[in-house]
Amino acid sequence: MTNAPSPASPELDDVLARHDHDPTRLLQILIDAQEIAGWLPAPTLTRIAAGLALPRARVEGVAGFYSFLYTRPVGRYRVLFSDNITDRMLGNAGLLDALCRKLWLEPGKTSEDGLVSVTTTSCTGLCDQGPAMLVNGRAIGQLTHRRINEIAELIRQQRPLDLWPAEYFRIDDNIRRTDALLGLDMAPGAALGAAIARGRDGWLDEMRASKLRGRGGAGFATAVKWESARNAAGSAKVVVCNADEGEPGTFKDRVLLNRYADLVFEGMSLAAWAIGASEGFLYLRGEYRYLRPQLEAVLARRRAAGLLGTAILGETGFDFDIRIHLGAGAYVCGEESALIESLEGKRGTPRIRPPFPVTKGYLGRPTAVNNVETHAKTCLIALHGGAAFAATGTAQSTGTKLLSISGDCAAPGIYEYPFGVPITRILEDCGASDTQAVQVGGAAGVCLASYEFQRHIAYEDVPTAGAFMIFDGTRDLFEVARAFVHFFAHESCGFCTPCRVGTSLLKGFMDKLADGHGAKADLNDIDWLDRLLKNASHCGLGSAAPNPVIDTLQKFRPAYERRLVSLDFKPAFDLDAALAEARQLTRRDDPGAHLKTHEESPE
């Protein structure tokens, strides 16, 4: 049936033509094709496969990989509640239930008339203004029960999104502390002009002197990456800006893209100048799709100003342009080799490395992938020189760092600090009190207990890509860790067994503990799983997945132990509940017909 000729669709033909029938544009084609019917019916996939001369299984495989692509009907209004732990702390579950009740809908289902579907999605990067949701890809923050009632009414009336109150879609930048980067007022082209004046070698020298390290998490030296890409064989080099920002609790790239897009694109051009690239991609996470029109407008303005295109700023031979590539809801695509697969129109499966992207990246070409903030930071280096940049921060962590602060504090938002800032200072600045723990670096990061608050944000102490989630004394750190474990199990791409099975087992252990059926042996099994995931996973997602559990188990053990049925006996399931049927058959429900719980037992 799937191979049957599909009906003609001028709209779909249009989509294919717009993308030049290019198989590397498959993901973008699927995203655009989905606009036609709101989902991707089987004949659409068949027609796309034929139009791109690809096996249908390949098209279906890609469509099935990304959570924002739907191969089954969904509501004409697709409501996705952001489900980071910070959204949960702000009551997203109650709001989701309320909306479903108002719409007579079961969570996760589509209404019978096909009007609406309501479910959850991973962190949408709006933790400073949660609880948040996406409706047909458009972000709405600061949800309240009142707003939910209004939204239910608008959906019932089938009011087009463009006619919903504009303030619903207002996303604030919440910039609370500025330093060198966020305080920079730069005329577009100023940094690029300065770098071109230094020549490619001189510009790379400044980058080396700056000791800039990547802001996407791993902290790799940017100059070393650029130099490797520059020296790699092959002339058609590529610059990629990683704007996938999927780590729960981080949203600083959202703000850079919204308010400082010129710095980001200028940084990409600076990378292109250094390595000799002619093509650039901004990989924009699907959750930030609403930013695309304004980003395209900035690109158009830069082209008109001679900052993109051929002979940039009059420099013969410096030809470079940037395209925006949309993601579609897959955290693993933030990993640079998975991102490149996705850019090539494939499933976001991390590659085996080496070869590294700098020698063999996008379509086998040397590719430098950098984070949004890393790109923006290079403008400071071009303007003021590497030594000036290296003068702030610490010996191994030069410059400043943007932090996305959320959770239990008075003023969540974006804070820029020189590296080396102590945790205590940050907590004070954002108005946190009675802080029990801080999760730095997102789900994959580290959970700091109060006795560690004298530590510093720096690669040599507490490294971070920028997430900083605060939990006060009322929060249950076990539930925080459980939420992160669920996140990893959901986001595992399934390519390698240790991660696919390991994250699912870990989730099972945490749920078992939450249900009150855990025993001490389960904690030992969690330790064993930690070693397995760390040593045998194919990429950083799997190796980081146990971090939140191991950290909280070590630092907040009572939160686990009070959930144990027994410190020695290991019930694999609820024995007493399993005997309910036998009790029913024998018509007995007296205390003697029940198993004794641990507390009731004489020892």
Ligand X SMILES: Cc1cc2nc3c(=O)[nH]c(=O)nc-3n(C[C@H](O)[C@H](O)[C@H](O)COP(=O)(O)O)c2cc1C
Among 132, 307, 381, 499, binds ligand SF4 (CB under 6 A): 499
Cis before 7 (ω within 30): no
265 binds ligand SF4 (CB under 6 A): no
Kindly tell me which of 302 and 401 has the beta carbon lying closer to ligand X.
Answer: 401
Question: Which of the listed partners (ligand X, ligand SF4, none) does 507 bind, with a CB threshold of 5 to 8 Å by partner kind?
Answer: none
493 binds ligand SF4 (CB under 6 A): yes
Contact assessment for residue 399 and residue 380, using Cβ atoms and an 8 Å cutoff: yes
Angle between helices 190-210 and 222-231 (to 10 degrees): 100
350 binds ligand SF4 (CB under 6 A): yes
494 binds ligand SF4 (CB under 6 A): yes
Stretch that binds ligand SF4, among 17-25, 353-361, 494-502, 565-573 (CB under 6 A): 494-502
Rounded CA separation 405/591 (Å): 51
Question: Which of the listed partners (ligand SF4, ligand X, none) does 528 bind, with a CB threshold of 5 to 8 Å by partner kind?
Answer: none
Rounded CA separation 224/220 (Å): 8
Q: What type of residue is 165? A: P
Rounded CA separation 287/133 (Å): 10
Which residues, in sequence order, are CB contacts of 425 under 8 Å at separation 6+?
417
Kindly tell me which of 210 and 537 has the beta carbon lying closer to ligand SF4.
Answer: 537
- Of 559, 538, 537, nearest to 548 (Cα)? 559
Task: Identify the bridge partners of residue 471 per DSSP, sorted by sequence position.
Answer: 437
For the CB of residue 28, give the shortest distance to ligand X in the complex, in Å: 19
Distance of CA 230 to the CA centre of its chain: 29
Question: Which of the listed partners (ligand SF4, ligand X, none) does 334 bind, with a CB threshold of 5 to 8 Å by partner kind?
Answer: ligand X
Task: Identify the bridge partners of residue 82 per DSSP, sorted by sequence position.
Answer: 121
Tally of CA atoms within 13 A in the half-sphere of 577 that contains its CB? 7
β-bridge pairing 446-449 and 133-135: unpaired
Rounded CA separation 136/312 (Å): 38
Contact assessment for residue 444 and residue 487, using Cβ atoms and an 8 Å cutoff: no
For the CB of residue 491, give the shortest distance to ligand SF4 in the complex, in Å: 7
3-state secondary structure of 412: coil
Cis before 354 (ω within 30): yes
Site residues (vs ligand X, CB under 6 A): 214-218, 220, 242, 244-247, 332, 334-336, 369-371, 374, 539-541
Rounded CA separation 384/380 (Å): 6
Question: Which of the listed partners (ligand SF4, ligand X, none) does 493 bind, with a CB threshold of 5 to 8 Å by partner kind?
Answer: ligand SF4
Question: Which of the listed partners (ligand SF4, ligand X, none) does 220 bind, with a CB threshold of 5 to 8 Å by partner kind?
Answer: ligand X
Kindly tell me which of 21 and 490 has the beta carbon lying closer to ligand SF4.
Answer: 490
3-state secondary structure of 392: coil
Kindly tell me which of 288 and 495 has the beta carbon lying closer to ligand SF4.
Answer: 495
Kindly tell me which of 226 and 488 has the beta carbon lying closer to ligand SF4.
Answer: 488
Tally of CA atoms within 13 A in the half-sphere of 402 that contains its CB? 29
For the CB of residue 501, give the shortest distance to ligand SF4 in the complex, in Å: 9
Query: Residue 237 has which token pair?
Result: 């080099």
Kindly tell me which of 228 and 504 has the beta carbon lying closer to ligand SF4.
Answer: 504
539 binds ligand SF4 (CB under 6 A): yes
Kindly tell me which of 418 and 542 has the beta carbon lying closer to ligand X.
Answer: 542
Kindly tell me which of 333 and 403 has the beta carbon lying closer to ligand SF4.
Answer: 333
Kindly tell me which of 338 and 427 has the beta carbon lying closer to ligand X.
Answer: 338
480 binds ligand SF4 (CB under 6 A): no
Among 177, 346, 486, 538, binds ligand SF4 (CB under 6 A): 538
Cis before 23 (ω within 30): no
For the CB of residue 478, give the shortest distance to ligand SF4 in the complex, in Å: 24
Rounded CA separation 93/130 (Å): 12
Among 292, 455, 500, 594, binds ligand SF4 (CB under 6 A): 500
Footprint of ligand SF4 on 377-416 (CB under 6 A): none
332 binds ligand SF4 (CB under 6 A): yes
List residues near ligand SF4 by CB under 6 A: 332, 350, 492-496, 499-500, 537-539, 541-542
